Structure 1
Amino acid sequence: MDKRFFKLFNLTEEEAIAILDKSPGQLGENDSRYIAASHLAGFPTEASISSLMRAVKNTESSLENRIVRRKSIESLGHLKARQALLLICGCLADDDCYTVENAVWAIGEIGTRDTNILEEIAKLLDKPEQIYRVIIHTLAKLEYKPALYRILQFIEHDDKTIASAAIATIYRFTGNNSSMPQVVDFLQNPKVYVRRLCIQDLVNVNYYSAIPEIAICSVSPVFRLRGIRMLAEVGIADGVLAFMDVEPYLDKVIFDHPQDLNLVHEYDTTPTLEFSIRELYETDFGRCYLATQTILKNYRNIAGEALIMACTKEAYNDYGAHYHIVKLLGWLKYTPAYPILIEALYNQEPQFQKSRTAAAIALGELGQKQAISKLKDCMETTIWELKYAALISLEKLGSNSGWEMAANDQDWIIQAKVARQRATGKPIHNLMINNSEFENDSR
């Protein structure tokens, strides 16, 4: 599990425990029991687990304490604290559905084969106003097949995230995939959270045939790359897939051009450049991709300066907008953006990891040879997406040095990418779209 974000708070383990153990009257102005409970998920020690368990046992009824209790249960799940299992099971009867949700999830993380516990979880599917998706996922993860008849009632649920989880779990339990195309169709749902969550459902049941559709789903590349990689790892290990089966889709997601996506939104009329740039700040990446496409088609000659201004005034602090602006500056071949792209390439903030990959691609699009040494530096990182993007751009800039550096990379995808390039001799950047064709595309 990626725990880079667990230790963002300037607290030691001892300080977090001390804050979590305080009563409301003892808290200082800058103390937060919620932050303390979240922070302790990064410390797999008896002291942290005991503190979190004490917080779960604190049933004081204020909203603030209920929220802290939920987060403490979640942190115990992250820590896979088996000694807390019975305590967490007691929370399944809580009146607060969010506490129940976190308890179910935590039990799934800790793991159990106790049929009494599993049946208690399954019974929650008969209880109104519960978080059914998490319940279904946990029952699937713990392979509790006696819950099947209860799960069947959710396959036509109005909430498509619940229907998606139910359909995928039925396939997992029975092997009947007749309804799985419906889950694939959810990848084009207008609601972004449906698109994101059904990717996880497809991954959970190793539905390999969905890889092409996942690649063109208009959600953040983080969700698509994670999904494709997880499916590839299992499929290749089982001999069902080869790297060549997933490589074209990885290439397209890393490049992440809107022409390669199925866009789920549209404009009635062509919006202004100002409106389009504001759309890049949307949390629904489907809208961001539509805005990106609009800028490339309609404002190619004037967008560069406006994007630079947006980046320096506001987008530098918004990791979603920053990602899209960095990509656009590369596709626009806006050479004054070179310093901004280099800055993005070296940004160490975890929230801006996508922007580093975008900058690597953008520098290849910009075509300036001076970027070669900077891109070679990327091969020293542990971020596979960044290395993959750097390989694409290094070759586009006429440098094969990255391939030698990557030949013995610790990441299997990078190794496989190098092996494929050597075997085929086909330049990988030729797999990317032709921008001149895109400029003339009036769709």
Structure 2
Amino acid sequence: MDKRFFNIFRLTEEQAIAIIDTPLDQLEDPSEKYIAVSHLINFPTEQSISALVRAIETSNPEELDERIVRRKAVESLGRLQAASALPVIQKCLQDDDIYTVENAVWTIGEIGVKEPEILEDVAQLLDKEGQIHRVIIHTLANADYKPALERVKKFTNAPDEPTRSAAIATVCRFTGDYSEISKVMALLQSTSINARRGCIQDLIDSRYYKAIPNIAKCPVSLVFRLRALRMLADAGVRNGEISFAEIQPSLEQVLWDNPQDLDLVHEYDVIPALNFAIEELYETDFGRCYLATKTLVEAYPQEAPAALMTTYADRAFNHYGAHYHVIKTLGWLKYAPAYELFTENLHNCEPQFQKSRGACAIALGELGDKRAIPELINCLKSPIWDLKYAVLISLEKLGDTTAKEIAANDPDWLIQTKATM
């Protein structure tokens, strides 16, 4: 579990617990209690777990602010994998608030519950109207609770694409018959960003290695694709089900992340104005961002660099999505004046800009400026595997071979393998 973003409130454990134990009407801002239950993820202690349980048991579900705190407390118990809190979490499965139920189901999955009586309580929710069925199916699948098979089958034709994807993938896993998995893969080209993301997770859980090239071309953030390929590589190579050589082309294609390599699901009727394409870089659906990037490179190779530098200075410097796409596009345009921008952000350690560091590594390789070699080699000290891999790709492009000696001793098997291939 990646916890880099959880420690932003600077509360001590004692301060957070004190806020949780303060009645909501005595706090200056109701959001303080929400922050406190969120923050206890940083303290895996019995005191924190007990405080989160109290937050659930003493909340008034009739009050919206308290209901929101209750939901978050259930989630935090899942992030702490607090098995001792299972009795209260199990009770939450009967809650009238569907989001509390959703979080309770997710938490049971995070804890790794195998007790049939608890999993049956989860499975019975599939017969209950109005529930968020995808998370229920996903939890049952990961717990390998096969008594739920017939109930899951009912959702293989669900109108909701993420739910349908989870159901089909789970039936494939439970029965060993993968003849219908193509219906999950087809959702990699859905116009719904949630469906595209969801089916990637389902393909990971199914260990369906044949989907790797298709996942690599799916127009979602490279974070989702890299996570998928890394998890499939770790499992498949370890078990001898796939080789590094088989996954390498797709992995490097994702790290390269050129929109020309993606199967885009959006299109323009006519080439849009430059300003419109720039604004599209701020969209939450990366499929639209990639289409805009492709358009900027192909339709506005002369005008785009100045517009990109302007939008970076105005807004993108603080917008993690646009930040990434501006850097990538400037790299594809081989815009040499952006060299300082690339080297500065190559070492940007703010967690929300992590993927931009890999983008900078690739962009520096595109510029072909050998001054970047020492800057790139320095990044091999990072614990971030995808940054190091991107660095190795760019150093190859810049003609450097010394970095391979460093990377050959890296603790990450994937970096070692790349360096010694």
When the two structures are superposed, what TM-score results if normalisation uses the length of structure 1? 0.93
2:219/2:263 contact within 8 Å kept: yes
Query: Counterpart amino acid of 2:392?
Result: L
Query: Counterpart amino acid of 2:39?
Result: H
Residue 185 of structure 1: aligned partner: 186
Residue 4 of structure 1: aligned partner: 4
Shift in alpha-carbon separation, 1:282–1:190, aligned structure 2, 3 A: same
For 2:26 and 2:300, the matched residues in 1 are separated by 57
Residue 196 of structure 2: aligned partner: 195
Residue 41 of structure 2: aligned partner: 41
Residue 259 of structure 1: aligned partner: 260
Shift in Å, 1:343 = 1.5
Residue 427 of structure 1: aligned partner: none
SS in 2 for 1:239: coil
For 2:151 and 2:64, the matched residues in 1 are separated by 32
Residue 354 of structure 1: aligned partner: 355
2:30/2:65 contact within 8 Å kept: no
Query: Counterpart amino acid of 2:114?
Result: R
Residue 16 of structure 1: aligned partner: 16
Deviations 1:227-286 (A, max 9, x none): 011111111111111100000011110000011100000000000111101001111010
1:19/1:31 contact within 8 Å kept: no
Residue 52 of structure 1: aligned partner: 52
Deviations 1:334-385 (A, max 9, x none): 1111111111111111000010000000011111111111111110101111
SS in 1 for 2:301: coil
Shift in Å, 1:18 = 1.0
Shift in alpha-carbon separation, 1:190–1:269, aligned structure 2, 3 A: same
For 2:5 and 2:269, the matched residues in 1 are separated by 40
For 1:252 and 1:88, the matched residues in 2 are separated by 42
Shift in Å, 1:25 = 2.4
1:171/1:180 contact within 8 Å kept: yes
Shift in Å, 1:113 = 2.7
1:296/1:332 contact within 8 Å kept: yes
Query: Counterpart amino acid of 1:185?
Result: A
**What are the residue-to-residue correspondences of 1:91-102 with 2, within 5 Å?**
91-102=92-103
1:133/1:165 contact within 8 Å kept: yes
Shift in Å, 1:164 = 0.4
Residue 232 of structure 2: aligned partner: 231
Q: Does 1:315 align with 2:310?
A: no
For 1:247 and 1:113, the matched residues in 2 are separated by 35
For 1:112 and 1:72, the matched residues in 2 are separated by 18
**What are the residue-to-residue correspondences of 1:95-110 with 2, within 5 Å?**
95-110=96-111
For 1:188 and 1:112, the matched residues in 2 are separated by 33
Residue 291 of structure 2: aligned partner: 290
1:319/1:351 contact within 8 Å kept: yes
SS in 1 for 2:154: helix
Residue 387 of structure 1: aligned partner: 388
SS in 2 for 1:282: coil
Deviations 1:135-168 (A, max 9, x none): 0011111111111110000001000100000011
**What are the residue-to-residue correspondences of 1:163-178 with 2, within 5 Å?**
163-178=164-179
Shift in Å, 1:31 = 6.1
Query: Counterpart amino acid of 2:136?
Result: I
Deviations 1:50-86 (A, max 9, x none): 1000001023121010010010001101111111001
Please provide the CA RMSD for this pair: 1.0
Residue 397 of structure 1: aligned partner: 398
Query: Counterpart amino acid of 1:286?
Result: G
Residue 122 of structure 1: aligned partner: 123
Query: Counterpart amino acid of 2:53?
Result: M
Query: Counterpart amino acid of 1:412?
Result: W
- The number of equivalent residue pairs is 420
Shift in Å, 1:30 = 8.7
Shift in Å, 1:114 = 2.3
Shift in Å, 1:176 = 0.8
1:58/1:69 contact within 8 Å kept: no
Q: Does 1:157 align with 2:170?
A: no
For 2:399 and 2:225, the matched residues in 1 are separated by 29
SS in 2 for 1:3: coil
SS in 2 for 1:276: helix
Query: Counterpart amino acid of 2:314?
Result: K
SS in 1 for 2:371: helix
Query: Counterpart amino acid of 2:335?
Result: Y
1:367/1:397 contact within 8 Å kept: yes
Query: Counterpart amino acid of 1:16?
Result: A
Shift in alpha-carbon separation, 1:408–1:72, aligned structure 2, 3 A: same
SS in 2 for 1:93: coil
Shift in Å, 1:29 = 4.6
Identical aligned residues as a percent: 57
SS in 2 for 1:369: coil
**What are the residue-to-residue correspondences of 1:259-278 with 2, within 5 Å?**
259-278=260-279
